[in-house]
Chain A
Amino acid sequence: MNEPATKHRIPEFIVGAVLLLLAIVAYIGRRADWFPPIVLGTAASVVVIILIAASLAWILIRTIQGHQAERRIVYLYIGIAVTLPLFMSLTQKISISPEVQTLYNGLAALPPGSKVLATFDYDPPSAPELQPMAETFFRYAFHNDLKVIVIGLWPQGPQQANLALNKILAEDEFKQMNLRYGVDYVNLGFQSGNEFVIQRMGSSIRSMFPADIYGTPYDSLPLVRNVRNFSNIDYSFNLSAGYPGTKEWVLVAVDRYGLNLGAGNTAVQVTEMYPYVRSGQIIGILGGMNGAAEFEKITDQIDKGTRFMLSQSFAHMVVIAFIFIGNVAYFTIERKGKR
């Protein structure tokens, strides 16, 4: 329950200040166009990794000597592990998991001109994980002439979709394609009512979205004019960070109306969706940053998801190291204490 007894307590503000400093440095690094980013080559990166590993080994030794590291040291290391890789030029091999492969196969099987319903059920906090998936999805869809219909059951969802769309449509490649709003893609906006919206979309999409996000009436949009309900949708792609989300789409749209559903979820909730993937109710699923990176790899467009995976690798390694240290502490300090 209580904080383990320790001799060297680092004052909270020092940890806070170091993390803040790291965040500022990371921000400056990202703004590469007005400040030269600090990039560590392979050799320098390896040296940094060795230094981190050595300091972790030192913590381990201290633990064996009976000085248990406290929570704030863990935070400090997580902060370092997440920020430092942003400055490293190391690349990693991403392997494709079966649930990403099946999601991709579902998309790849769609003939050009297929209508895809993209449902955005998340808000800015989960954007780091889900936004790369959204961008990759739009790129893939436009490359392969899939028609995208965006809706959101979260108020901020359609805005997130627009952020991704604006970014992609500004890229040279897509500028040349002359994609037309209302014909190649459309954003129908947000509708409140959670799963009841899905249920009513099952009989009529228009009744739930009488106009798009800009107020254009449903029937004036060529792409959706003839889309009555889920039976006119060839595939749907849901990005979800909670309720309502993938689960509600499965329970209502997939189970009752037989919609084809692929999904992207935050890493926190993806474990809950595996039963639906295994039973075939969800075609495939992308889980967290890792899922985003795999999706980028399989659609052959390396972006944010892949780049941030190095941070995730580091963070996982640090957590594993601390779990190990924690167990060493358990067997050397805590158990002895009990005896």
Chain B
Amino acid sequence: MRREIPLLITGIVGIVFIVQYFIPHYPFGRMSDWFSDWFSIVASCAILLGALNLMKMSVLKVISRKGDWIYALITIACFALITVIGLAEGRDFRDTGTGFSWLYDYVYSPLSSTMFAILAFFVASASYRAFRARNFEATLLLLAAFFVMLGRVPVGDVLTGFLPESMQMSHLATWIMNIPNTAGQRAIMIGIALGLVSTSVRIILGIERSYLGGE
């Protein structure tokens, strides 16, 4: 039963979602709405599980003073701070001027932006290391990267300013993005879509059950 019930739920929900796509009549549309609502409800409740687990692990680490326990302590402190402030400020905790929004604007936002900005550095180091003219294909990739990188910034047109406008770098970059890039993206998209269909069929039919823990 431990396997059968989840498989049954998966099968029924999967089939209802397909059926409602073709049959707008009651009750199918309504049923798919219910199922998506239930997913949101279960996922929101499950967040407690995650948060509790995080706290448990962090507290254990601090008590045992294992390895990097100081980071666990920071995690607990931040968790407690934002929870307490959020709860204390009641329903309007997100309004401007509240302590929560201050933390959001001046701590959370800059930290997240920093992580995203690190991407710029990593793109540079990854291209420095990986873009090598090892063979013909790699050389093609390298050239495409060169033209797109130059063409996507104004300096590209400055450097090719002596050429007629249609030959300038930005046009070349647009051409690369619009034609070879799009063709490749489409091929990958079709493959992925087919993979999704096949995986979905396997899951709905109960053939794929490794996500439930083994065959």
Q: Which residues of A contact B (CB under 8 A)?
A: 71, 74-75, 77-79, 82, 92-95, 97-99, 123-128, 159, 192-193, 196, 200, 268, 271-272, 274-275, 277-278, 287-288, 290, 309, 312-313, 315-320, 322-323, 325-327, 330-331, 334
Contact = CB atoms under 8 A, between A and B. Distances in A.
A323 B131 contact: yes
B154 interface: yes
A309 B150 CA distance: 12
Contacts of A97: 170, 174
Given A98-B178, A125-B112, A323-B128, 6 more contacts: A74-B125, A74-B128, A128-B113, A274-B181, A312-B153, A319-B128
Interface stretch (B45-53, B71-79, B115-123): B115-123
Most chain A CB neighbours (cut-off 10 Å) among B131, B146, B168, B186: B131
A93 B132 contact: no
Contacts of A312: 153
Contacts of A94: 154
Contacts of A320: 146, 149-150
Given A78-B121, A274-B178, A322 B155 contact: no
Contacts of A82: 120
Contacts of B174: 97-99
B118 to A, nearest CB: 9
A30 B206 CA distance: 59
Given A124-B108, A193-B36, A309 B185 contact: no
The 4 lowest CB-CB distance pairs between A and B, nearest first, are A92-B154, A125-B116, A124-B109, A313-B153
A268 B117 CA distance: 12
B132 A316 contact: no
A128 to B, nearest CB: 7
Contacts of A288: 152
Contacts, number: 122
B113 A124 contact: yes
Contacts of B178: 98, 274, 277-278
B154 A75 contact: no
A319 B112 CA distance: 24
Nearest to B174: A97
Contacts of B157: 93, 95
B133 A92 contact: no
Contacts of A192: 40
Nearest to B113: A125
A95 B170 contact: yes
A125 B109 CA distance: 7
A275 B192 CA distance: 15
Given A125-B112, A319-B123, A275 B150 contact: no
A282 to B, nearest CB: 12
**Main SS at interface, chain B:** helix
A290 B173 CA distance: 12
B149 A92 contact: no
A326 B128 contact: yes
B3 to A, nearest CB: 28
A327 B124 contact: no
Interface string B20-58: 000000000000010010001000000000000000000
Nearest to B183: A275
Contact of B158 (A93, A127, A128, A193): A93
Interface string B70-101: 00000000000000000000000010000000
B62 interface: no
Contacts of B2: none
Contacts of A313: 153-155
A331 B185 CA distance: 31
Contacts of B189: 275
A40 to B, nearest CB: 17
A192 B150 CA distance: 40
A126 B116 contact: yes
A200 B36 CA distance: 11
B132 A326 contact: yes
B185 A274 contact: yes
Contacts of A317: 155
B193 to A, nearest CB: 11
Nearest to B95: A214
B113 A71 contact: no
